[in-house]
Amino acid sequence: MTSLASEPLPAGSAPAEYAEVVTKIDQLMARYAGSGPGASLLIARAGEPAIRRSYGMADVEKAVPVTPATNFRLASVSKQFTAAAILLLVEDGRLALEDPVRKWLPELPAGNSGTTIRHLLTHGSGLIDYEDELPADLDRQVHDADVLEILAKQDSTYFPPGGDFQYSNSGYALLALIVERVSGQQYPAFLQHRIFEPLEMTGSLAFVQGGPQIKDRAYGYSLEAGAWVRTDQSSTSAVLGDGGIYSSIDDLAKWNAALDDDRLLSDQSRELAFTPATSTHDPSVDYGLGWYVGGDRVWHSGETIGFRNVILRYPQHGLAIVILSNRNDPEPMETALAIAALFLR
């Protein structure tokens, strides 16, 4: 592991009582330090941000360092926000989890008649992955509406709805469209109005080209032939429902706190989100609504071109670990688990 002795001190904060554990944390996070793309780390205890550390560069070319306010593309960590948007509409009485998806998206073929909103949320729909249907020579970005257009032409599914678990970005793209049709608002505006503004998540947004710019933006990078190359956007980066949200550890500290009380979602909605709903192919892991559930923890990772992220929560212990990174390596779950172990002894 690379020594931190010659590296800049990480940005962030930690009370003096955590001095010893912070040294161990910085060792675990050492690969993110230096002049390459970096990461932000949040450790929350009892809903409060206890430790905030940031490493490396948000913009390598301009040598802009990562800070706790740096906004990273969340990739599939976005799915918990899409699920929350649906649950808010359920609380409003405007839709139900057992609604047929075709009630709101009648463009889907009749073969999807048995698919419900709950199936989309829990990856039990069997829908075809839209990524597999994209042409190899695609020269533009696709959007959530394009996903619906692709699926409207599919006359088959992987399995009958509710028959198995198949992780589905397609399903979450459709959920974002359902939010739009039920609410009458564009998906980014709904998130802003119903989630980000109430929680004062001032830097978070679902990013749309030509829309509001990302403040304190981290750009994504991939390691190619020993050098970091900017790989910030792909053909699927504009699909919002499955992975298009940007946020920071400072904003996610507020989101994490809101998952412990009813300031945003009701007790019933939060229980639904964290209750096992679909068995995955790992017998020790289930999926709820936008969250993996297993043992004493709930979590979700997010991977997309140039970004790797994880949010890991131990509700019974009042502990949460968030790692956001703007690089394609390493995958941060192992590091998050190692950091959590420092607090769960």
* Residues known to be catalytic: 76
The C-alpha torsion from 116 through 300 and 70 to 46, rounded to 10°, is 110
Q: Residues near 281 by Cβ (< 8 Å), separated by ≥ 6?
A: 165
Residue among 58, 51, 46 nearest 24 (CA): 51
Q: Check if the beta carbon of residue 70 is closer than 8 Å to that of residue 60.
A: no
- Report the SS3 class of residue 133: helix
**How far, in Å, CA of 18 to CA of 12, rounded?**
13
**How far, in Å, CA of 151 to CA of 130, rounded?**
7
Residue among 309, 315, 275, 308 nearest 292 (CA): 275
Alpha carbon distance, N-terminus to C-terminus of the chain? 24
Q: Check if the beta carbon of residue 53 is closer than 8 Å to that of residue 29.
A: yes
Q: Check if the beta carbon of residue 16 is closer than 8 Å to that of residue 24.
A: no
- Report the SS3 class of residue 170: helix
Q: Check if the beta carbon of residue 297 is closer than 8 Å to that of residue 314.
A: yes
The C-alpha torsion from 146 through 136 and 165 to 333, rounded to 10°, is -100
**Amino acid in the structure at residue 295:** G
The phi, psi pair for 258, rounded to 5°, reads -70, -15
**How far, in Å, CA of 166 to CA of 254, rounded?**
31
Residue among 307, 290, 292, 254 nearest 117 (CA): 290
